[in-house]
Structure 1
């Protein structure tokens, strides 16, 4: 048991260090390429910090444990929103919090994650009548196509925003060099996370197995927590260096990519995924939609003072996420009894 805990701690430490460097390099790339922190956070940084989910969930699907894989993806989205809320509480500057009106530019990427998660929830509920093309169901195909569509929308929105600010300075060779070295460093950090993630997941699985909990709950909580470590480190680092657009873009982008990862998980599973998993995951998907909607409301809502747990703010998000996780625990117990 001690060896497993040590392995878990070492893997987590490696991911924390790599995630910190990853965020700083991503911020540098956003400035030097001119793509902007929202686009880089929603795509490049989100892809890199989602590497543990790719590795863990494809492996779980190949082992015949689709509930663990889907639970990890849904639970990771919940934990990502929890991370965003905690980061907002830790940085309560009057005009720069991520739940302020100045963060309205993230409403598009947040709404995109709502769309993709809702599609996944509908596919899970319709699992008994799932229709597939080969080994992939129409639900996964719809999610992938929708992601490509919303990615185009986010890109065009960023291009239009940049065009409307022609005097905004961009870093170039005269402002610290090109983007070749940051990209190389970014790729190296992503590779480190990819290597460390399986060790982290296996040690977490070994610890969870001794607790006797089911795959649905373990995937939604413990495995989702450890695979969300890169997002946690990346978001807190981005907040610390003042890259709030990068932090929020990473969270919403990661949640969207989590749903896209259902496609390779289904391929690895070798059968229609949504027909093989517990309907409890649909509840988790709805919880993600609800909490993300509250975050968007918090971005759009303007008021001089807020009331705890009443206004759409970080404390309400934390309350909803904790409540959803507790509900998943009890729902999982009920499904096992049946």
Structure 2
């Protein structure tokens, strides 16, 4: 039954996250907030809501290992799996897009997170430092977007997949209500199920967070990157991974750390944090030299992730 609860919770999370984003985007545009700003704030926060709720509920329910494992595992999966699998379908061409600044910001966020983990457990002062980093990142992103708009390189009516022009106020508010109810329900079920699986199998909660929960919560990013690769939009695929990783480190653990202390285990500091850093650094040649992420790289990245999971469960 623990597997059933975990899968049910994951399904509810994915569905609730999707309808919450749709409702929030439609509401923002109805209120006159530009689509460009919505895409950088509402959509970014909404698509990460499942991970956020899981981590908060994990801390509340006394399973903080799931919270930390979820974030670190998701960042590893985002690079190795979320870029690896789409590259098996279609090559990701990176030379035409400049993601250097975002990549360096992600590395800075990774370094800050690791420093705080090594001085852990993560408590409210650490959490505030992470949230301050998130505020700086979002402020810089919004200023950059406004400069792009002023230079006429983007428009206010850019298309967002989550927009439903025909949605009336009732449907928009209904989306938001369903999302707000479904997210905590799904998070509660998934954390309960994952904790039960860990206890029954004699596996630590951190390992469950690094594998089952991390892969599950990376599913939306994986779907987005597959479609982006298929359409030849490397900027979307890379930007999706880099942005998600930054928010995971700064926002999710930042909020969860305010709820309660998050212990950092010895295996996390001796192995998993370093794997996360190595995965992040793997992006450097693609970002700075425009290497194509072809099928060989896709196979290598996916194989590396498989080897990491086997090592965790071995």
Bucket of the pairwise TM-score, normalised by the shorter protein: 0.7 to 0.9
- After superposition, the Cα gap between the structure-2 partners of 1:188 and 1:176, relative to the gap in structure 1 and judged at 3 Å, is closer
Are the equivalent residues in 2 in contact too, given 1:66–1:277 (CA < 8 A)? no
- After superposition, the Cα gap between the structure-2 partners of 1:101 and 1:188, relative to the gap in structure 1 and judged at 3 Å, is farther
State the aligned residue count. 304
1:321 alignment partner, one of 296, 302, 305:
305
Residue 335 of structure 1: aligned partner: none
Deviations for 1:2-49, whole angstroms, at most 9, x for unmatched residues? Answer: xx444344443444445566777899889x96544xx75554333223
User: How many angstroms apart in 1 are the aligned matches of 2:230 and 2:19?
Assistant: 13
Normalised TM-score (structure 2): 0.75
Deviations for 1:215-260, whole angstroms, at most 9, x for unmatched residues? Answer: 2212211222233334344544666677765554443222222222
Residue 263 of structure 1: aligned partner: 254
Unaligned runs of 5+ in 2: none
- After superposition, the Cα gap between the structure-2 partners of 1:85 and 1:226, relative to the gap in structure 1 and judged at 3 Å, is same
Unaligned runs of 5+ in 1: 331-338
- After superposition, the Cα gap between the structure-2 partners of 1:222 and 1:5, relative to the gap in structure 1 and judged at 3 Å, is closer
2:51 alignment partner, one of 50, 53, 57:
53
Normalised TM-score (structure 1): 0.71
Superposed, which structure 2 residues align to 1:125-164 within 5 Å? Answer: 125-127=118-120, 136-137=124-125, 139-164=126-151
1:300 alignment partner, one of 278, 284, 288:
288
- After superposition, the Cα gap between the structure-2 partners of 1:160 and 1:224, relative to the gap in structure 1 and judged at 3 Å, is same
Residue 69 of structure 1: aligned partner: 67
Measured after TM superposition, the shift of residue 328 of structure 1 is 4.9
User: How many angstroms apart in 2 are the aligned matches of 1:238 and 1:18?
Assistant: 22
Q: CA RMSD in A?
A: 4.0
User: How many angstroms apart in 2 are the aligned matches of 1:325 and 1:316?
Assistant: 14
- After superposition, the Cα gap between the structure-2 partners of 1:158 and 1:278, relative to the gap in structure 1 and judged at 3 Å, is same
Measured after TM superposition, the shift of residue 188 of structure 1 is 5.0
User: How many angstroms apart in 2 are the aligned matches of 1:241 and 1:217?
Assistant: 35
Residue 279 of structure 2: aligned partner: 291
- After superposition, the Cα gap between the structure-2 partners of 1:159 and 1:235, relative to the gap in structure 1 and judged at 3 Å, is same
Measured after TM superposition, the shift of residue 205 of structure 1 is 2.6
